């Protein structure tokens, strides 16, 4: 699943989309993730809103199977950090994640981010 921090990085995003197009992996995202990427690109990076809308529309159009649905009602039941609940809900619905365990997946992601100095551990 691509998170917003991946989608806002053009080189990484394009590499992963190309990898999906060539059958090397499968990209997935939620509308919430796309909305977060849109806000970040416009607010924090000063990108033109019309261009970002066009980018996200093209992603939706060319990768329709990337859309994750059916997890939303589970978010409120997740006891994890509110910023991570959508990931945990997705893993519960799909059974996909490094360990098929939301707590372990989130812990691994937080550890990697902490090592990179992106968030406090």
Least confident span in 26-30, 50-54, 70-74, 111-115: 111-115
Query: Collapsing DSSP states into helix, strand and coil, what is residue 107?
Result: helix
The confidence band for 43, taking pLDDT boundaries of 50, 70 and 90, is very high
Query: Collapsing DSSP states into helix, strand and coil, what is residue 29?
Result: strand
Strand ranges inside 1-121, DSSP E: none
Global confidence as pTM: 0.66
Give the position of tokens 């997740």.
Answer: 78
**Does residue 68 contact residue 90 with C-beta atoms inside 8 Å?**
yes
What pLDDT was estimated at residue 120?
Answer: 44
Give the position of tokens 């806000």.
Answer: 39
Q: How far is CA 77 from the centre of its chain?
A: 20
Q: What is the per-residue pLDDT across 55-85, written as a single tens digit (0 to 9) for each? A: 999 999 999 999 988 766 766 666 666 666 6
Cβ neighbours of 35 (radius 10 Å): 12
Residue 30 per-residue DSSP state: -
């Amino acid at each position: 699943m691509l998170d917003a921090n991946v989608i806002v990085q053009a080189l990484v995003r394009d590499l992963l989309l190309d990898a999906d197009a060539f059958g090397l992996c499968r990209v997935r995202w939620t509308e919430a993730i796309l909305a977060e990427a849109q806000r970040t690109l416009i607010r924090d990076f000063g990108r033109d809103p019309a261009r970002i809308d066009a980018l996200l529309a093209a992603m939706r159009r060319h990768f329709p199977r990337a859309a994750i649905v059916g997890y939303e009602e589970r978010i409120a039941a997740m006891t994890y950090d509110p910023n991570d609940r959508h990931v945990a809900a997705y893993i519960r619905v799909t059974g996909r994640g490094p360990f098929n365990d939301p707590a372990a997946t989130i812990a691994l992601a937080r550890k990697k981010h902490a090592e990179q100095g992106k968030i406090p551990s």
